[in-house]
Amino acid sequence: MADFIRVSYASLSVIPEERRYLMHSMYEDSDVDGANDAEAVFDFIERVAPGTFVLVLCNDSVTPPCCNRQGHFHCDHYAPYWCCVLLLASTWEQYESRVKAAHQAWIDSRQCKVVEV
């Protein structure tokens, strides 16, 4: 089973498009077989060339800590598309800190600004 890196799809925009490969995308769970195929291809790559590539599972959904079973608020952001993106490990190492910073900024920008009255 592939060891995915999980970040928002928006955060990958810091990596030039020509340095990332979209292996699979799907709307919600519309193509689980395709997702499994992408994972199987990555597992094969990892067996024959260990550590050469990383697989990123992306989705732009954000559920801030203020949301709970009792209620979801306007800052709860649901994105139905999921993507598997293949990167060279060296590309991930080069951009990892920028991707993580962009991912955190994505999350932070969707936090509730609750004001107590």
Mean pLDDT along residues 5-21: 93
Q: How many CA atoms lie within 13 A of 30 on its CB side?
A: 9
pLDDT digits (tens, 9 = 90+) for 30-56: 878 888 888 899 899 999 999 999 999
pTM of this structure: 0.78
Beta bridge partners of 58: 7, 83
Beta bridge partners of 103: none
pLDDT band at residue 4 using 50, 70 and 90 as cut-offs: confident
pLDDT band at residue 59 using 50, 70 and 90 as cut-offs: confident
CA pair distance 23, 6, nearest whole angstrom: 15
Mean pLDDT along residues 46-67: 83
Say how many residues make up the chain: 117
Domain ranges, ordered by start, for the chain = 5-108
> In whole angstroms, how large is the CA radius of gyration of the chain?
16
CA pair distance 59, 69, nearest whole angstrom: 21
DSSP for residue 17: G
Mean pLDDT along residues 4-15: 91
